[in-house]
Amino acid sequence: MPDSQKHLLLVEDEAPLREAIAEQLTDRGYRVEQAESGEVAIGKLADFAFDIIITDLRLPGIDGSEVVEAAVERYPHIIAIVVTGYGTVKDAVEAIKRGAWDFVNKPFQIDELLHVLDSALEQRRLKSENAYLRAQLEERYRFEGIIGKSRPMKLLFQLLETVAATNSTILITGETGTGKEVVARAIHHNSPRRMHRFVALNCSAIPETLLEAELFGHVRGAFTGAVGNRQGRLEQANKGTLFLDEVGTMSPALQMKLLRVLQEREFERVGDSNTIKVDVRVIAATNSDLGRMVASGQFREDLFYRLNVIPVQLPPLRERKEDVPLLVQHFLSRFQAERGGNGDRQAVEPLTVSQECMRRLMAYPWPGNVRQLENAVERAVAFAAGRSQIDVGDLPTEIQQAHETPAPTTAVTLPEDGVDLDAYIASIERQLIERSLERTGGNKGQAARLLSLKRTTLVEKLKRLEKRA
């Protein structure tokens, strides 16, 4: 008997047989609807989404294969079982080609039909669960090329999914190498503007005298070397997304002009008086503290608030060490595929990373973040030519020297006037519980196992600590 009632459409032109089968299926917990012809069945399918359809193959008018095809076309996840009195391989193959899950030969025992149904339901359940798990893994570990399973990355993925659908201006902050442009591209490709251009401009890579022309474009004769009219990045990004990297390096005059674009959605090319309207989403990025720059007068306060409509903070790699193995595997696969694509036969065998090598990678603080890790893996792949495993010696020297050092034991000193022992122990207990919850992403069951506690004990301790707080 199924775990929950399933709606089943039974299609059979012989009334006594149809009613007998319907009665037995109803006794087994199925909710059965009957149809005496293919035409009636298709009509019922138009009105209701059945879980299962069982149809005789030979029917007057529209035959069972056509009924199956119509059912599967309308409901791709429906389970279709064909019953045939002819039992030819050709009939069965044709029905399965049209979407039938399985077939049963007449005459049959009800137990035989129930076995086929149970098997089909179980396979569909497993298939659905696998599809769900794959979707969850993809959602959990990556978002358009951004990879991670740590708590900071899960929170980032949730935020990106939310902001991508909006048209708001976004300010991405984070250390050098954290992947600010990758995140900006991910937002664009998941937004309604994805069919239009993503245009990137690194404000720090272009001399200040040329940055204005690069951003807004220019007309012929606007300055020495302007031999013709030229579109700027703003025009190129019309209806799409403009990514301004290192926006904190803009001069005050250019900041004012960018502010006008964000407020009025219009600008003029350098050397021109004609106003150009533009529909563009701006995503800015910086590794500087713009708030501090505003306080010191280096950055316009009004522009800061215009850019910082939705702030996105990228965590440094040292704060998400559990993502290092995932990132290593990602870069390893990519660089090896590139070598294989270049005709390197030695790259055919998959490369692995030794445990000691992985420990060094996990222990290193990564001041250059993901970009530095990417470069280290690329170097290691090159140095491991002819071997199937990357070892410590393939890593850059500074990473080879990285060692995981245990946290030093804090020396306990007893003040002259004594100490509140209960409060002191409660403080240590609180810190351990908070760290365990942080490591497990808030999962109390896993946190309890880390502390060798029962889950109920951990919950009680949390309640007690909350009352003390």
| Same domain for 333 and 426 | no
Q: Which of 315, 332, 361 is the last residue of a domain?
A: 315
Q: Looking at residue 256, which CATH number applies to its domain?
A: 3.40.50.300
Can you give the pLDDT at residue 341? 55
> What pLDDT sits at residue 172?
96
HSE of 388 in the Cβ direction (CA atoms, 13 Å)? 3
Residue 373 belongs to some domain of the structure: yes
Has residue 416 been placed in a domain?
no
Whether the CA torsion 56, 57, 60, 63 is positive or negative: it is positive
Assess whether 396 and 434 both reside in one domain. no
Inside any domain, residue 209: yes
Read off the tokens for 452. 């060798």
Q: Are residues 21 and 80 in the same domain?
A: yes
Q: What is the dihedral of CA 330, 332, 333, 339, to 10 degrees?
A: 140
Within this chain, do residues 336 and 192 fall inside the same structural domain, yes or no?
Answer: no
> How many domains are there within the chain?
4
Examine the domain organization and report whether 273 and 380 are in the same domain.
Answer: no
Residue 334 is assigned to a structural domain of this protein: yes
Q: What pLDDT, on a 0 to 100 scale, did the predictor assign at position 343?
A: 53
Mean pLDDT of the chain: 83
- Domain interval for residue 72: 7-133
Instruction: Kindly state whether residues 255 and 388 are assigned to the same domain.
Output: no
Q: Which of 133, 162, 192 is the last residue of a domain?
A: 133
Distance CA 395, CA 405 (A): 19
Q: Are residues 311 and 329 in the same domain?
A: no
CATH number for the domain spanning 432: value is 1.10.10.60
Instruction: Tell me how far CA of residue 309 lies from CA of 188, 283, 284, 287, 367, in angstroms.
Output: 16, 10, 11, 17, 28
What pLDDT shows up at residue 348? 52
Instruction: Give me the pLDDT at residue 138, please.
Output: 44
Is residue 104 helix, strand or coil? strand
330 shares its domain with 310 = no
- Residue 297 in any domain: the answer is yes
Give the CATH number of the domain where residue 332 resides. Answer: 1.10.8.60
Q: Are residues 39 and 73 in the same domain?
A: yes
**Does the residue 415 lie in any domain?**
no
pLDDT digits (tens, 9 = 90+) for 146-164: 888 888 888 999 899 899 9
Q: Are residues 306 and 330 part of one domain?
A: no
426 with 454, same domain: the answer is yes
pLDDT tens per residue across all 469 residues of the chain: 344 568 899 999 889 989 999 999 988 888 899 999 999 998 888 777 788 999 988 888 888 888 988 888 777 778 888 888 765 657 767 777 778 888 888 778 888 888 888 888 877 776 655 554 444 444 444 465 688 888 888 899 989 989 999 999 999 999 999 999 999 999 999 999 989 999 999 999 998 888 999 999 988 887 877 777 888 999 999 999 999 999 999 999 999 999 999 999 999 999 888 999 999 999 999 999 999 999 999 999 999 999 999 999 999 999 988 888 889 988 988 888 776 655 554 545 678 888 788 888 988 999 999 999 999 999 999 998 878 889 999 999 999 988 654 444 444 556 666 767 777 777 788 888 887 887 776 778 777 877 888 888 888 888 887 776 6
Examine the domain organization and report whether 285 and 256 are in the same domain.
yes
Name the nearest CA neighbour of 440 among 319, 318, 322: 322
